[in-house]
Structure 1
Amino acid sequence: MTQPLKLRVAALAAEARDVMRVELAATDGAPLPPFEPGAHLTLQLPAGLARQYSLVNDWREQHRYVLGVGLAGESRGGSQWVHASLRVGAELTATGPANNFPLDPDAQSFLFIAGGIGITPLLSMVRWCEARGRAWRMVYAARSRVRLAFYEELRAFGRKVRWHCDDEHERPLDVRALMQEVEPGTQVYCCGPGPLMTAVQEAGAHLPPETLHFEWFSAPAAPADAHGGDGFWIDLKRSGTSLHVPPERSVLEVLKDHGHELPFSCREGLCGTCETTVCEGEPDHRDYVYSPAQREGLRTMLICVSRAKSPRLTLDL
């Protein structure tokens, strides 16, 4: 696990309605760990909260990290605290950077689809494409123009960015038509509200699955039979113990019930914090970090949501 970072809030600014721009620097003035486009930080907030926020600035910068924090309509406390209580000069502890949404460095063409605060991981990708001379275009959708975060920075790219405001067009973005325009070889990166992401998945079903990439900020609603079955067993290789995971409990919950202190954050299969090595058995991957292509042969699992296809799993614990 990476060492915690001690950071100071260097600047705060309103970036759009309900979007706060947060600039962070090391408390000792030292260079910050490097990051790649698509990466995020995990901020440790009051009351034991840990929240992930995407890095939006140029990946070559090491004197600062810049975040865009949207005020969630049903905030669990993280974004609400940032908007209401964070002040310049405040000190925060963070871990990372980590990247569950990496940019394909070999691709020659990109389509970025952003919805609302979903612009944050895509903005650093745009900067990378510009620096590398790669072809790209973006479609940025929001409910209204006042909710377009980082508008001034993106406007400088001219026609490469297409804006869609629901109130001005009197309808949501036509995702089906957009995905029919995708040319062969183009890598599609999408981040935004669940309905937009699902629409892109469905409308892009005709494309090779390895060309579609998603960053989920919240997990879609699980189907009623998401757990099902009679549960399964986990064998802990290092401790030599075996535990039963019932249908209504996660692996993480069972381990915590038996005194195992493991890192976790989102509990929704979104952040990758609880990733655990699988020594034997076949995991049933239910996370939103790994694509179907990446899951084949994967010998790790996110124990907050993923389960087992085999009767038993042996974990490196």
Structure 2
Amino acid sequence: MAAVTAWRCSTLLFIGLSMIFSADLERMEVKVGQNIVLPCQAVGDIQYVKWERVNLGVDCVLKHRRGEVFPDSLHPSFENRAHLQDRQMKDGNLSLIIREVKINDIGTYECNVMRSFGGNSTRNIIDLHVSVPPVFNFITAESGQDVILPCRAPDSNVKYIGWTRDDLGFDSVYRYEDGHFRPVNQHPSFKNRVDLQDRQMKDGDVSLILKNVTSNDAGTYLCKVIISRAHRSDLISSIYLVVDPPGPPKPRPGDEWMVFGVGFALSLCLVIAVVGFCTYTYRLSRGPNANRPHQTPQQLYDLRTGCRLETSKV
């Protein structure tokens, strides 16, 4: 009986502690570039407040003591970006403002408050998630061309890249994880045809090269990226690819002058032919005597009698 009672007491104690600690954890979400306010409230005579993030080591996000900030202990990434919402801490408002949130701001933040005269510390824990607004693109390519599907992550320290197409189900177009290309579950139609534009992913460039596209490659492509293990996969880019049949061959450099020369020669030949034809027709219409001088009719007389014999043309 005593053992049952002890088991019940330990169970109730565990549930009670779980409710206490889970109530302190608050999840907040913000988009890259926005400002965020992490709430923290305390009562009594506050000696100092210290905002920390669990993965910053000895550095902190902000340390504020009786109206004075301690910059020596701040992490460089939060310089001029982290401030108390009310620097006077009026009514115990110790909320933290982070301006122009970056993807690296992801993590668990703790608000630690120390009261005067050795008062107990108040602790508030916030799990901050940062998302990246997706970019939508429309790209047109011709069959046989190589095409670049653009995607840029907010940070070069990429743990995972997943390129998919919305009609492939569980198959992928390209998958990168922990520094290596992973061909597992890659759709057969993309084998040996896709690669990152920059394998070093400089400035977060995770664009994909798709070689020798065909009409079967048309569709909506999705680029998803994970920056850290604590960060879920975010949609970074969505691209709608349209593949057209091959068009007429494009002119080579200098072809326009060749076309002009051929056109000019044909036009000149046509003018000469027309002039020659008109000249020939005109001469033919005048007959064989056209070049003889015109002669007027003359009277013929008999020399013996002086009488007119006939009238003729000479």
Q: TM-score range by the shorter chain?
A: under 0.3
Scaled by the length of structure 2, what TM-score is found? 0.21
Scaled by the length of structure 1, what TM-score is found? 0.21
Max radius of gyration: which structure? Answer: 2
